[in-house]
Chains A and B, each alone.
Chain A
Amino acid sequence: MRKVLTLFLCICLVGLPTLAGAADVERTLSTPAPADGSVVDVTLSIEEIAAGGVIEHLPPGFVFAGSSLPANRVEANESRICFALLNETSVTYQIVAPEKGNGEITGEWYDFINQINGTIQASRIGVDGVGVTETTTSPGPAPTLIIAALAGLIIARGRRE
């Protein structure tokens, strides 16, 4: 009975960060295979971030061309775009495809109020579809889930002993 209680307590503790904030960011592209020089709409769907930020990294040659956020909440250079988030549920930005090139758009997000952060699943993009394959990178804030799973395994093993 004591072991069951311990297991319950451990699961509760591991679950706390998740309860405190269920933030997440997902990225969708209007197309992963744009024509040379065309504009791609990149939409970030944001869940439950009241005060946060996103950094997006573009593949070489792709150029940031504007976003749905006010200008004072965006900083962009050649390959990196930073967004300050205040309660947005989505942000759309535009990138212009180069003559040729491909790679991954990668990103990170921060929820400053809930003090958590994570990565955004990488999106492959290639001019005329060159180099576009299935994505392989896993999304964000897995550490707590991994720890929970480990805790469960250890305790279950203990029970068997």
Chain B
Amino acid sequence: MKTRTLALFIVLLVLAAPAAALQAPPDSSEDETVSEDEFVRMVLSFLTGGEDAPALADVEEAATLLDLPSGQTQTVTDLAGRQVTLDGSLTRIVVFNGETLETMRTLGVDPSLVVGVDKYTAERETFFPEYQKTPVVGSIWAPDYEQVVTLQPDAVFLYATTSKESCDEIQKKLEDSLPDVKVFRFDCFTPETYAKEVRAIGTIFDKEAEAERFATFYTSALENISAAGAEVPESERPTVYIENWRDYKTGAAGSGYEQKIAMAGGTNIFSALPGDYPEIDPEAIIAADPDVIVKLIGEGAYSYGGYADVESEKVAGVYDSLVARPGWQSLTAVKDGRLHLLHNNIMGGPQHFIGMTYLAEWCYPDQASSLNPQALHRTYLEEFQHLEIDPAERVFVYP
């Protein structure tokens, strides 16, 4: 009887041993980890089998070294000030704003997580080649709710301040249709808040280190811009007129242009006008005689240059048409060669810091060597967007 009991005990001990051992994985050291991507490839290779498939024991060992995000919940505050609780990694997301999508690429977020994009992103073939086959969910002005619901996202990204009412409505309808969906609101185009948004998006996708790296790069670029005119008293700063792609439409004190001009060391000549984006009397420009004039192109009637337009021969024609405006030949900016065209690709979205660096260079030409906006642009595209686009081969500014 004793012998039988002992034998049974030994058999059970042998059966239980693997389970007891699993809490202390073999060969695991504190420094050695397996990334999520590596592990997923290994698992699929194991499951599908074949000559190169790893052994089960190897996959189990890799699992113990897996650098998984913690399963704990975390709360992220978006730009709208909403606190959103995450209880795991996002796996299916829909993005209605290209600015946030670009920021996600900056942080190395896996594009296969994105199951739906807005129609404007889909139209930007050169800049977003990886999303050309991704389902399109319309736009914030004409959302395709049916498509979004079909895609069953676990998170949707909308603007925080742009077309706020439309985005509020989309959020409400989606939260009604998809009770578990997380909605995040970000803009990703304002210098004042962009670094904060980058860090929040980094937290959402467990890319905190990447977010910190880019935030450092970005804030360093902003500091460089501010340094250009830092020693110049406000009263002596160059006066600037920015006109957007709609003729004679500019920005006043409440506009984004005002902030960007000020950070670049200039003074907005139409700061005091009522409204954020007033249309001005052409005579007012002649009367103000600004030191620097910047015309934004790339939108509306001036959809030339930038990432999408390689030929860009029409850009020079835009410049000539501005010089030919009544009275402009006598403007100081025109006579001094300080009338410039600036593509909205590098002024309006996450790349605003590149356009602002050009603006600082035009305000302070003697600082050009320390600003070098084209080198900054190239670094951004190579290191953060991983695009093989040389900004020198396209027209983002003219002349």
Contacts and interface: CB of A to CB of B under 8 A. Distances in A.
Interface of A: 3, 6, 9-10, 13-14, 16-17, 19-20, 50-55, 68-75, 80, 82-88, 92, 110, 112-116, 144, 147, 151, 154-155, 158, 161
Chain B residues touching A, majority SS? helix
B64 A6 contact: no
Counting chain B CB atoms within 10 Å of each CB, the highest count among A9, A85, A87 belongs to A87
A51 B68 contact: yes
Interface in B49-99: 56, 59-60, 62-64, 66, 68, 71, 88-89, 91-92
Contacts of A20: 19-20, 22-23
Contacts of A147: 12, 15
Contact of A112 (B16, B60, B110): B60
B62 A112 contact: yes
A75 B22 contact: no
Interface in B1-34: 1, 4-5, 8-9, 12-13, 15-16, 18-20, 22-23
A6 B10 CA distance: 12
A86 B4 contact: no
Contacts, number: 115
Chain A residues touching B, majority SS? mixed
Chain B interface size band reads: 35 or more
B68 to A, nearest CB: 7
Contacts of B60: 112-113, 115
Counting chain B CB atoms within 10 Å of each CB, the highest count among A3, A71, A72 belongs to A72
A44 to B, nearest CB: 14
Q: Lowest 8 CB-CB distances: which A-B pairs, in order?
A: A112-B63, A82-B47, A17-B19, A84-B43, A70-B112, A51-B63, A84-B40, A13-B16
B152 interface: yes
15 contacts: A10-B8, A13-B16, A16-B20, A20-B22, A51-B39, A52-B43, A69-B91, A72-B37, A82-B44, A84-B39, A84-B43, A85-B43, A110-B59, A113-B64, A154-B8
Given A50-B68, A68-B91, A114-B22, A73 B44 contact: yes
